[in-house]
Structure 1
């Protein structure tokens, strides 16, 4: 039987990326730019530009959802989401954002996501690779009175880097007043865009939800600024790895719970004690008794990276597996995330990663590997 050919989706800016010299690759069901050609192009150059100036990433493959309450019960959507997410949603103030996760009954992570209280409704940004499963899960579990919308007519751009704030403020006045994990509605191109001060690189920056009809005008205006260059998936991945941020499908899966993933900051004390969300029992068992395995950072000696799937050893005993790994341009050495037996998760523990026939010395190291530089206000 011939293999089924899956047609990849195209981003609203597909032609724009190709004209800019992007090399396109399959990712999360879409053709996505991994890097750009020309002077200043390439993954390392794009990574370093993001650290020093500002880069424009197209993340329109992500799922943009809104959850609406009925008029006679304006808090229903928040209460319903609290049945599915371990974070506090009912206390989330307008313009504020929160990181959370959809969980199975067993406590496994279906997806990690961002929740924003926009005022009229709650907005979710979910991962592109599993957005359809997320939508199905939400439709199955949310009350019939709650309306779930998928805004597939909106693009999503991420402007990231230390100069992102000044660039966007000059183009869209008022955005510079946002601080990390806050968001707001702004006028642009005769309509409105939603701007969040957040991102996936560890740097200051924004995610901008913009109607498809206005996205090319916005992208052109941003890269017309000498401080901004386009960047692709390659730099986004190396930046998020240095920032210690997990990638769904690799560092997070249905078999991994938030405690093992070292994401307990997303489990508020009130929700830990009160429960009421799917998966609460297994999650709290891991929280109270300690996880069997734990996500850790590894700094690796030499120049050869240990990539996903590399086995981790303590002496002759296999104690874990690398889930993300690569060479850190900022640190000048290989780094990785791995799940290891909890007994070997302490900072400073000496381990070995096996890559082909080589044994690479590795040390359990705190994350983020490179300090976050989020803008929290003056």
Structure 2
């Protein structure tokens, strides 16, 4: 609630940070994702996901073009496999540099811009998905106006040996409090953001996951750079035919009891029709929120389903996500 009302500071240094150097770096990464990386402007960041030959998602990531190199952030749980995957697919003229001397902090919430501008007013000129290098507390930081809470805010890569002092500088402001990763999980869920390993996995395609917005138009069947990524034929066919057996949906509970990951879902005839992949009580929403995969015919706003919780069938309704409005600053 503090993050929604003011500003929260998150330590996400467990994420993997990489640099890719070379004129063909963007082309190399684009061959692994269904996203436009070649035309990513300098000073911009983009969400992407690795696909496999079966069309599944093997991880999601953030890619930033800093002009002289690409800066890539990958998930902690998949860090080693992602690094190996990228390295195995790089041409000889592209090099990968592992960054192990930087921490990663996220300052999120409606007061985040006001607070960070006290350290450098230039951050106020940034809009959602802008990224730049600038000085904060006397050291060079990589700053993007992005985050994983649905709120306005920044993700800041800071030299590890100055991270403690930098964090304390931010925490000295009345608006800022440390926020834990459990709260980060409920924040991202309320705002409809997927968590890899839960809502996304190697057996789930972007079409099933309702991530069509994450597939750039130029990479689709009628685009000038169509396909060319692992599993492209299957994914592009699913986009064309809309023929998938299941879809990711949002669910709102009718009681106060949270519905957790792994809960089975049933229709009105007591037939099992899906499973919850993320679920909690939404502090901002004031009711249980969940993501789930259900049979495509039931992935319709307003459909009533029943979640099995400790032997009881609790009613839930398919609802549009995000459950709480996203408040990214777009200028």
- Could you state the TM-score of these two structures normalised by the residue count of structure 1? 0.85
- C-alpha RMSD of matched pairs (Å): 0.9
Q: Contact 1:189 / 1:214 at 8 angstroms: preserved in 2? A: no
3-state DSSP class of the match of 1:171?
A: coil
Distance 2:96 2:207 in 1: 29
3-state DSSP class of the match of 2:200?
A: coil
1:119-156 deviations in whole A, cap 9, x for unaligned?
A: 11111111111111100111111212211111011100
Aligned to 2:18: 65
Aligned to 1:25: none
Distance 2:213 2:233 in 1: 17
Distance 1:91 1:203 in 2: 27
Shift of residue 285, structure 1, vs aligned partner? 2.0
Q: Which aligned pairs between 1:176-187 and structure 2 lie closer than 5 A?
A: 176-187=124-135
Alignment partner for residue 236 of structure 2, among 254, 261, 284?
284
Does the alignment pair 1:368 with 2:316?
Answer: no
Alignment partner for residue 137 of structure 1, among 85, 90, 99?
85
Of the structure 1 ranges 235-244 and 144-153, higher mean CA displacement relative to structure 2 is found in: 144-153
Aligned to 2:279: 325
Q: Contact 1:110 / 1:253 at 8 angstroms: preserved in 2? A: yes
Shift of residue 191, structure 1, vs aligned partner? 3.3
Distance 1:322 1:152 in 2: 35
3-state DSSP class of the match of 1:174?
A: helix
Distance 1:144 1:126 in 2: 22
Q: Which aligned pairs between 1:1-378 and structure 2 lie closer than 5 A?
A: 48-69=1-22, 74=23, 76-273=24-221, 274-290=226-242, 291-314=244-267, 315-377=269-331
3-state DSSP class of the match of 2:134?
A: strand
Shift of residue 212, structure 1, vs aligned partner? 0.4
3-state DSSP class of the match of 1:210?
A: strand
Q: Which 4+ runs in 1 deviate beyond 3 A?
A: 188-191
Distance 1:285 1:111 in 2: 21
Q: Contact 1:323 / 1:339 at 8 angstroms: preserved in 2? A: yes
| 5+ long unaligned stretches in structure 1 | 1-47
Q: Contact 1:246 / 1:252 at 8 angstroms: preserved in 2? A: yes
Shift of residue 188, structure 1, vs aligned partner? 3.3
3-state DSSP class of the match of 2:220?
A: helix
| 5+ long unaligned stretches in structure 2 | none
1:142-190 deviations in whole A, cap 9, x for unaligned?
A: 2122111110111000000000001000112211111000011112344
Shift of residue 375, structure 1, vs aligned partner? 0.5
Distance 1:232 1:202 in 2: 16
Distance 2:92 2:82 in 1: 17
1:173-213 deviations in whole A, cap 9, x for unaligned?
A: 21111100001111234431100000000000000000101
Q: Contact 1:165 / 1:176 at 8 angstroms: preserved in 2? A: yes
Of the structure 1 ranges 281-290 and 332-341, higher mean CA displacement relative to structure 2 is found in: 281-290
Distance 1:347 1:114 in 2: 30
Q: Contact 2:119 / 2:136 at 8 angstroms: preserved in 1? A: no
- Could you state the TM-score of these two structures normalised by the residue count of structure 2? 0.96
